[in-house]
C-alpha cells in the first residue's frame, strides 16, 4: 500500500510540517483543489513533483467563491477517495482546513481583484467568484508559503487572475499553469462532470469541438465575429444554454482590437441541464 500523506487540519499543524521541510532545505509545491479529485488534478500533482521536493495538496471547498444559489452544498466531497489517490500520487501533505479554520468568526478581509477578474467572462456570471478565489488562494499561499503553485489552464481566467494577484502582491512564489486534461472525446475533466446525466454527458464534448473548430477557422484567417457566431449556434443546437463563447487576448483577457494581434484564447461557458461547464483553447 502506498504511504498515506500526512493530513493537516489546523494552521499550526500545517506550519510545523512546512517548517520541518524548510529546515531541511527542501522546496515546496502547492496544488490548491476543492477535492473530488480526478486525473486532471493528479496531473498537477505529477508536475508539482517535478518542480519541488515536497508536494502539498489543499482540499477545501471554499464557501466564499459560491453564490447562495450555486452548488456549494451539493459540491462532491470524496475525502477518503481523494486521500487514496493522493497516496498513490505520493503527495506529502493534505492541507484540509474546515471553513471555521479558514474563516474564523470575525473574519473581515477580502481581496478584490481587477484586470482579468473583470473581463466580462466568468465574473459576469459569477460576480462572487474571483474575490472568493483570490481571498482563499492568497491565504493558502501565505499558509503554505510554497516556492511554486500549480493551477490548471482548464480554469483559464482563474489562472490569469491568480498570476496577476501573486505579481501585484509581491507574493514570493511562481504560479504555473498546466494544460487541460481531457476525456478521449475531448470533454475537459471536471469534478462537476459527475452531475451529468448519460444524455448530457453524450453532448458535453460539443464545447471542446466548437472550440477546436473555431480556433482552426480563426487561424486560417476567417473573420472572428462570424466564426464565434457559428460556434455559439453549434453549442445552442446541442442543447446548451450558452453563457459566453468569446475570443480574447490570452494574456490579459481584454477584448481583441484586431485579429492580427495575438496570442488569442477562446473561452466558453454553458449550461447543460443544471450543470455549468467551462472550457478554453488557445488559437
Ligand atoms: P478545482 O478542484 O476544480 O478547484 O480545481 C483545482 C485545480 O485543478 C485548478 O487549478 C483547476 O484548474 C485544476 N483542474 C481542474 N480540472 C482540470 C483538468 N481537466 N485539467 C487540468 N487541471 C484541472
3 state SS for the chain? CCCCCEEECCHHHHHHHHHHHHHCCCCEEEEEECCCCCHHHHHHHHHHHHHCCEEEEEECCCHHHCCCCCCCCCCCCCHHHHHHHHHHCCCCEEECCCHHHHCCCCCCCCCCCCHHHHCCCHHHHCCCHHHHHHHHHHHHHHHHCCCEEEEEHHHHHHHHHHHHHHHHCCCCCEEEEECCCECCCCCECCHHHHHCCHHHHHHCCHHHHHHHHHHHHHHCCCCHHHHHHHHHHHHHHCCCEEEEEEEEECCCCCECCCCCCCCEEEEEEEEECCEEEEEEEEC
Note if 128 is an active site residue: no
278 lines ligand 1 (CB under 6 A): no
181 lines ligand 1 (CB under 6 A): yes
pLDDT at position 71 is: 86
In this structure, which residue's CA is closest to atom 7 in ligand 1?
Answer: 33
Task: Give all domains of the chain, ordered by start, each with its CATH number.
Answer: 6-178 (3.40.50.620), 191-282 (3.30.1300.10)
- Which is the catalytic residue, given 41, 49, 69, 128? 41
Q: Which atom of ligand 1 is the closest one to the Cα of 151?
A: 10
For the chain (283 residues), the mean pLDDT of every run of 10, in chain order, is 90 98 98 96 98 98 90 91 97 98 97 97 96 98 98 98 98 98 97 94 98 97 96 98 97 83 92 96 97
Test site for ligand 1: of 152, 186, 276, most ligand atoms within 8 A of the Cβ: 152
62 lines ligand 1 (CB under 6 A): no
Amino acid at each position: 500500500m502506498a504511504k498515506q500523506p500526512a493530513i493537516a487540519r489546523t494552521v499550526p499543524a500545517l506550519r510545523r510540517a512546512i517548517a520541518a521541510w524548510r529546515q531541511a532545505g527542501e522546496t515546496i509545491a502547492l496544488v490548491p483543489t476543492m477535492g473530488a479529485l480526478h486525473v486532471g488534478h493528479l496531473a498537477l500533482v505529477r508536475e508539482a513533483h517535478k518542480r519541488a521536493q515536497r508536494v502539498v495538496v489543499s482540499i477545501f471547498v471554499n464557501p466564499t467563491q459560491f453564490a447562495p444559489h450555486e452548488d456549494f452544498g451539493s459540491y462532491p466531497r470524496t475525502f477518503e477517495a481523494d486521500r487514496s489517490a493522493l497516496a498513490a500520487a505520493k503527495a506529502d501533505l493534505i492541507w484540509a482546513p474546515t471553513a471555521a479554520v479558514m474563516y474564523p468568526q470575525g473574519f473581515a478581509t477580502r481581496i478584490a481583484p481587477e484586470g482579468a477578474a473583470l473581463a466580462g467572462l466568468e465574473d459576469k456570471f459569477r460576480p462572487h467568484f474571483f474575490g472568493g478565489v483570490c481571498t482563499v488562494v492568497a491565504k493558502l499561499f501565505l499558509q503554505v508559503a510554497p516556492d511554486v503553485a500549480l493551477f490548471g489552464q482548464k480554469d483559464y481566467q482563474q489562472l490569469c487572475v491568480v498570476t496577476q494577484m501573486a505579481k501585484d502582491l509581491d507574493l514570493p512564489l511562481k504560479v504555473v499553469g498546466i494544460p487541460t486534461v481531457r476525456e478521449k472525446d475531448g470533454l475537459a475533466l471536471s469534478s462537476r462532470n459527475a452531475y451529468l446525466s448519460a444524455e448530457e454527458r453524450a453532448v458535453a464534448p460539443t464545447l471542446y469541438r466548437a472550440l477546436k473548430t473555431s480556433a482552426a477557422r480563426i487561424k486560417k484567417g476567417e473573420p472572428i465575429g462570424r466564426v464565434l457566431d457559428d460556434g455559439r449556434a453549434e453549442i445552442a443546437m446541442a442543447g446548451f444554454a450558452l453563457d459566453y463563447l468569446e475570443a480574447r487576448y490570452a494574456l490579459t483577457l481584454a477584448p481583441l482590437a484586431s485579429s492580427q494581434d495575438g496570442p488569442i484564447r477562446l473561452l466558453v461557458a454553458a449550461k447543460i441541464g443544471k450543470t455549468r461547464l467551462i472550457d478554453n483553447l488557445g488559437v
